[in-house]
Amino acid sequence: MSEELLLPVPSVPPGDVGVAWLRSSVVRFSNGHEHTRRRALTERLLDGVEATTLDELATALGLPGSLDDIALIAPSYQPHEPITANADAAVERLVTNHDEEAAARIGLLVQAWAATHALAGHLGTGDTAPPVPVTRRQTSEGVVEVSLQEHPFGHGPHVCPGRRLATRIAKNMAFRAMHHQAEPLVLPNAWDYASAVALHAGGFLAVGTTSLGVAASHGIEDGAGLAGVQAVALARILADLPFPVTADLESGFGAAPEEVGELVAGLGVAGVNLEDGRPHGLAAPQEQAELIRAVKERAPGVFLNARIDTHWLGTALEETEDRARRYVDAGADGIFVAGLTEPREIERLAALAPLNVLAQQRTPKELGELGVRRISTGSLLFRAALHHTVATARAVRDGGTAPAFGYAEVQDLISRGTRFGAG
């Protein structure tokens, strides 16, 4: 940690109302014993809070429906920014008692609002610069700006205690936005930690998991609902990576809808796939809709991609469309029709919700023109890796070799794989 970050933050003038009161009452702009006391208060307010959206966080902090006011306060929150009349009025609308706890609730939400929007923008473009490029510290010569370029997001003793929540919500926001761009999101699917970080380092802004890759690498048949422990363990490991991850949870591994909702809410990933295929056929559409509804009620910020397995079974388009409508009505954020390749069918289903298809003999641009919003590699990369592994072993046996990452390159990938909580 830079020694400059250990310096005190600049003092703020006292205030009785509005933004001036807020600044003078929050942990962010305090030092010494005052900072210690206020930090303990904010940590208590966040204890046990899990949220996938800013709305959920606002409700958990006792400020439901407050985000419009928070958005007015945020541009005036920092001491070097001018205070507007709208910001002052917004603060007063949110408080009944001008005490430290009220300030802590508002301050936490303001900082989360600013951090999530800034970080989501960076995640969506691949910008590796910190969302807050500088911070301010007090020296004997006056106030100086300290660069945060070499520090992980949320580094330093004055970091908001809600950085973990803000990071998760930002990844959720960024991943959702990736489904509403001019070009489809090309989503590669990993089967372990190394493949995920290698894909991100290769230029992919988000990464999914492949149920076949996860199951097969553990000696388990895919689609049988038997690889839940392995799939969940991988999702938890990948959730801390500095980019959005979506996890393939098959059909929920046989758990009840409410249990799947709790699982998704606690995983920390930005998205999940849930399929209506079962080991012995398709689930009834109302059964799958109930599962989707339970997950979205519990984890509204997690992008739920509803996979429809009708095309695997040769079912008519009308049933696919009926299922898609039911799932979207239940809360699904996108639909994924594996095996869908017919252009007219793609266009028809793409009108219902962000449509995900498997990679096929069309360019992303061509699929985008048909309305596709996401293109997944599915199990392709895992199967290609197996093929290359065998081919390489044969080449060695025959006196040759094959292209591969260097040892040091892999070590570097893992060390840079990082966790958002590092530091």
* 328-361 residue pLDDT tens: 999 999 999 999 999 999 999 999 999 999 999 9
Q: What is the mean pLDDT of residues 255-278?
A: 97
Contacts of 396 (CB under 8 A, 6+ apart): none
User: Is pLDDT larger for residue 211 or for residue 145?
Assistant: 211
Sequence-ordered list of residues with C-beta below 8 angstroms from that of 314, at least 6 positions apart, any chain: none
Tokens 């290359």 — which residue?
388
Whose tokens are 């639909």? That residue is 335
pLDDT digits (tens, 9 = 90+) for 165-205: 999 999 999 999 999 999 999 999 999 999 999 999 999 99
pLDDT for the residue numbered 314: 80
Q: Establish how many alpha carbons lie within 13 A of residue 338's alpha carbon, considering only the half-sphere containing its beta carbon.
A: 19
Alpha carbon distance 358, 368 (integer Å): 13
What Cα–Cα distance (Å) separates residue 192 from each residue in 8, 83, 171, 232, 415? 42, 48, 20, 12, 15
Residue, of 365 and 140, whose pLDDT is higher: 365
Average pLDDT of the chain is: 92
pLDDT tens figures, 83-129: 999 999 999 999 999 999 999 999 999 999 999 999 999 999 998 77
For 359, residues 6+ apart whose C-beta sits below 8 A from its C-beta are 375, 376, 377, 378, 380
Under 8 Å between Cβ of 323 and 342: no
Q: For 233-245, what is each residue's pLDDT tens digit?
A: 999 999 999 999 9
Q: Which of 133-142, 183-192, 279-288 has the lowest mean pLDDT?
A: 133-142
pLDDT of amino acid 155 = 55
Instruction: Answer whether residue 418 shows pLDDT above 60.
Output: no
How would residue 140 be classed by pLDDT, with cut points 50, 70 and 90? Answer: confident
Domain with CATH 3.20.20.60 in the chain: 174-387
Confidence of residue 152 (pLDDT cuts 50, 70, 90): low
Q: How much of the chain, in percent, has pLDDT values that exceed 90? A: 82
Specify the pLDDT at position 421: 46
Question: Do residues 270 and 304 touch, judged by C-beta distance below 8 A?
Answer: no
Assign 3-class secondary structure to the chain. Answer: CCHHHHCCCCCCCCCCCHHHHHHHHCHHHCCHHHHHHHHHHHHHHHCCCCCCCHHHHHHHCCCCCCHHHHHHHHHHHCCCCCCCHHHHHHHHHHCCCCCHHHHHHHHHHHHHHHHHHHHHHHHHHCCCCCCCCEEEEEECCEEEEEECCCCCCCCCCCCCCCHHHHHHHHHHHHHHHCCCCCCCEEECEECCHHHHHHHHHCCCCCEEECHHHHHHCCCCCCCCCCCHHHHHHHHHHHCCCCCCEEEECCCCCCCCHHHHHHHHHHHCCCEEEEECEECCEECCHHHHHHHHHHHHHHCCCCEEEEEECHHHHCCCHHHHHHHHHHHHHCCCCEEEECCCCCHHHHHHHHCCCCEEEECCCCCHHHHHHCCEEEEECCCHHHHHHHHHHHHHHHHHHCCCCCCCCCHHHHHHHHHHHCCCCCC
Quote the pLDDT of residue 156. 56
Dump pLDDT digits (tens) for 380-417: 999 999 999 999 999 999 999 999 999 999 999 988 75
What is the third-level CATH fold of 174-387? TIM Barrel (3.20.20)
Q: For the residues 264-280, what does the mean pLDDT come to?
A: 95
Model confidence, pTM: 0.93
Q: What are phi and psi of 173, to 5 degrees?
A: -65, -45
What pLDDT band is residue 378 in, cutting at 50, 70 and 90? very high
The answer for residues whose C-beta is within 8 angstroms of residue 198's C-beta and 6 or more apart is 405, 413
Q: What percent of the chain has pLDDT over 70?
A: 95
Backbone angles phi, psi at 131, to 5 degrees: -65, -30
Q: Residue 311: what pLDDT? A: 87
Question: Of 49, 46, 419, 53, which Cα lies nearest the Cα of 270?
Answer: 53
